[in-house]
Amino acid sequence: MDPGSRLSHTAILDLYADYRSDLGVSFEAAFEDRFGMPAPEALNMGHRLTIVATELDPATERILEYLNSFGVPANAVSFRYYADGDARYLARSWLLDESRTAPATTGKAAAREPWNGRDWYASFGADTVRSWKDARTYGFISAGGGSWFTRTLQRLPVGAQVFAYIPGEGYVGVGEVTGPATPFVDARIKFEGVDHKMSELELEGTYLHHGDDSNSNLTEYVVPVRWIRTRDRDKGVKRPGMFANQNSACKLRNSATLEVLNQEFGLGATD
């Protein structure tokens, strides 16, 4: 087996550091600059072989059929250029129907960076439902509007260090989770040393979703956080290549992102 197929996520980052140290930027930033999209969280998980050719013969088709029968995702594509008056067209044609090709194989390597057992990412969708000013003042993060959003938030363990990210604006806070996720109507917040029912506080956000009175899956869940550092929304930490995710919460493994966050929020080095 090619040794490259067994490279871990960390080994790939080390190779980049060895050969492209002249760029002076992280692998994630260089990837996004080159391909116009964020680097995947997991590297070297699967591969797909695509042959681009001007002509394809029957022998090539037989070889590709053979490879796919053994689970190797392989196909061939050709392009044709057409002109019709002032109009120009580029037509693409696959040799095999993509639905017939094998799915990308899953690598057996440790394809993600190791987790330090402490740091988490949380997406805070600041809008009319929830307010960053509220979260920053009273010490919490929240998510709701569907079980997909609350499921991951409820996994945040007490004692975790969590970095709050507002989509499109960047990282705006880091703090320690001090309690489990609780539905908004039951949530209690300790503010200025006094325990309060959250719904009785002076809030900008509604923390209610249309229809959640009859559908508990839409309920907003609140996680209390003791903030260590916070920022205004317009001063969020956002750089090319930094980790971001649609999940409401997930483990933060990306070492390049953690390095920037530790520096920007004045924290110690990651483990």
Reading the block at residue 114, the tokens are 């190791």
Are 131 and 259 found together in one domain?
yes
Asked if 228 and 169 sit in the same domain, the reply is: yes
Residue 39 included in any domain: no
How far is the CA of 230 from the CAs of 77, 143, 226, 235, 268, in angstroms? 50, 19, 11, 10, 16
Helix, strand, or coil here: 79? strand
Looking at the structure, do residues 130 and 257 belong to the same domain, yes or no?
Answer: yes
Longest dimension (CA), the chain: 78
- Mark whether 217 and 164 lie in a shared domain: yes
Q: What pLDDT is attached to residue 101?
A: 67
The CATH number of residue 190's host domain is 3.10.590
Q: Are 126 and 201 contained in the same domain?
A: yes
- pLDDT tens digits along 75-96: 888 877 788 888 888 777 777 7
The arithmetic mean of pLDDT across residues 143-158, rounded, is: 92
Q: Is residue 5 part of a domain?
A: no
CA–CA distance, 271 with 208 (Å, rounded to integer) = 39
Show which of 100, 127, 161 is a domain's final residue: 100
pLDDT at position 234: 94
Number of domains present in the structure of the chain: 2
| Spatial separation of the C-alpha atoms in residues 73 and 67, rounded to whole Å | 7
Which residues constitute the domain of residue 199? Answer: 119-264
